[in-house]
Amino acid sequence: MKINRFMGAVAAVALSAGMASAEGEPIKIGVLHSLSGTMAISETTLKDTMLMLIEKQNAAGGVLGRPLEAVVVDPASDWPLFAEKARELLTVENVDVIFGSWTSVSRKSALPVLEELNGLMFYPVQYEGEESSKNVFYTGAAPNQQAIPATDYFLDELGIEKFALLGTDYVYPRTTNKILEQYLKDKGIAAEDIFVNYTPFGHSDWSKIVADVVALGADGKRVGVISTINGDANIGFYKELAAAGVSAEDIPVVAFSVGEEELSGLDTTNLVGHLAAWNYFQSADTEVNAEFVKEWKAFAGEERVTNDPMEAHYIGFNMWVNAVEAAGTTDVDAVRTAMYGQEFPNLTGGTAVMLPNHHLSKPVLIGEIQADGQFDIISQTEEVPGDAWTDFLPESAVLTSDWKDLGCGMYNTETETCVQLKSNY
């Protein structure tokens, strides 16, 4: 049975090829990604990634000898709709697991529903940390796996003296920049040398903001931009930089939400040299990545590119498959227990490990934009364990997350008590 891989409504995938040994009631997998609205530029690819992974697993015989069936919904970049669609997936469609969300506000919208119904979601995108739910596995980067190392690169390698922290106006940029402001001050950067600005989703007029960034360097100090701009607003931002004649040599930008997919919609001629910080780039030179890219292009089209959140879904999905097989059931509590310590090769040559705080160990990569829209990897670390609670805010430095042994996502190491997480949402 052939299915339209790019449909935008509820879909079911149960491909017949290689399915002779997969019989019985299907295991349903919810796919909760925006296929319309401002975040469709980023999230549609993740829906397609899940369909590819499910197709491949079905060709290998499914899971527990049963076929996998994808149930795709479109929350349409409407944050409250993520909660509604998550409830639909868990109560109407009766899915066994959900893979989804991009923005933190969409994740936080779905979170109370996941906790109420004891659903399980794999969240594949870098985020601000300061959260650890027993119902979410965070397979994207925490701040210590992206934002902090990128800032260190600006300070240590590029000699940046003034910082423009530009973000979309929602929880991820605001919390990340709160952490970075404190981190920069601890590193000796004066408060007046840190410029912070937020814009709405889909913002398009960047002329004044770019002018303000340029003006920041009027005293001769070197300026760098740390960008937590999300979605299609990036297109206007980079176009305005180019129109203003700002090159990476003048004012380098390191982005946390711009990858290969976002660049595929831009003329990158004037962006060469600007940076992005992720845990994966398509240009990673490994055999396993070459095979992944080949499979993706065969599935989605030769023009399609891979990116970091795709790798996060790749790791999370395969860990979930292995946990289900180990548990012998799709029961959420049993799968959660089986997830701790799961290991799976990442696409950059190392091994991802699922930690008791529901975060992965991941390498940190800095990539430089090339004229073809790909990234030249100029820095790569060993695997860094994800930290749910930052060490750089006093109120968070005393907190730890350990769902395996402590059964708590917000444990205060000073008082030796478990704080109720719901008050943090």
Read off the tokens for 9: 């409504």
Angle between helices 287-300 and 40-59 (to 10 degrees): 100
Q: What is the pLDDT of residue 22?
A: 62
The count of other CB atoms within 10 Å of the CB of residue 188 is 8
Q: Which of 306, 317, 309 has its CA nearest to residue 339? A: 317
Q: Which regions of the chain are under pLDDT 70?
A: 1-22, 265, 421-425
**Domain 27-141+285-361 class, CATH top level:** alpha beta
**Domain 144-284+367-385 class, CATH top level:** alpha beta
Q: Which of 57, 63, 55 has its CA nearest to residue 11? A: 55
The span from the CA of 229 to the CA of 210, in Å, is: 13
Q: What is the pLDDT of residue 421?
A: 58
* 182: helix, strand or coil: helix
C-alpha to C-alpha distances, 5 to 33, 293, 294, 297, nearest whole angstrom: 14, 17, 17, 13
The span from the CA of 141 to the CA of 384, in Å, is: 10
What region does 402 belong to: left with phi over 0, alpha with psi -120 to 50, or beta?
beta
CA–chain centroid gap for 293, Å, is: 19
pLDDT digits over 288-326, tens only? 999 999 999 999 999 999 999 999 999 999 999 999 999
The helix, strand and coil proportions of the chain, stated in percent and rounded to the nearest 5, come to 35, 20, 45
Give the rounded percent of residues in the chain with a pLDDT score beyond 70. 93
* 326: helix, strand or coil: helix
Q: Domain limits of the chain?
A: 27-141+285-361, 144-284+367-385, 394-424
The span from the CA of 96 to the CA of 268, in Å, is: 41
Residues contacting residue 305 through CB under 8 Å, at least 6 positions apart: 260, 261, 263, 264, 282, 373, 374
The span from the CA of 225 to the CA of 83, in Å, is: 33
The span from the CA of 23 to the CA of 52, in Å, is: 20
pLDDT digits over 396-423, tens only? 999 999 999 999 999 999 999 998 755 3
- Over the range 353-370, which residues count as b (16 or more CB within 10 Å of their CB) and which as e? bbbbbbbbbbbbbbbbbe
Residues contacting residue 165 through CB under 8 Å, at least 6 positions apart: 173, 177, 180, 181, 194, 195, 196, 197, 225, 226, 228
The span from the CA of 269 to the CA of 215, in Å, is: 24
**pTM of the full structure:** 0.89
Q: Which of 173, 235, 172 has its CA nearest to residue 202? A: 235
Find tokens 């009027």 and name the residue.
218
Give the residues across from 351 on adjacent strands: 345
Contacts 24+ apart (CB under 8 A), 325-333: 325/63, 325/64, 328/64, 329/64, 330/27, 330/63, 330/64, 330/96, 330/97, 332/96, 332/97, 332/118, 332/119, 332/120, 332/135, 333/118
Is the fold of 27-141+285-361 the same as that of 144-284+367-385?
A: yes
The count of other CB atoms within 10 Å of the CB of residue 302 is 7
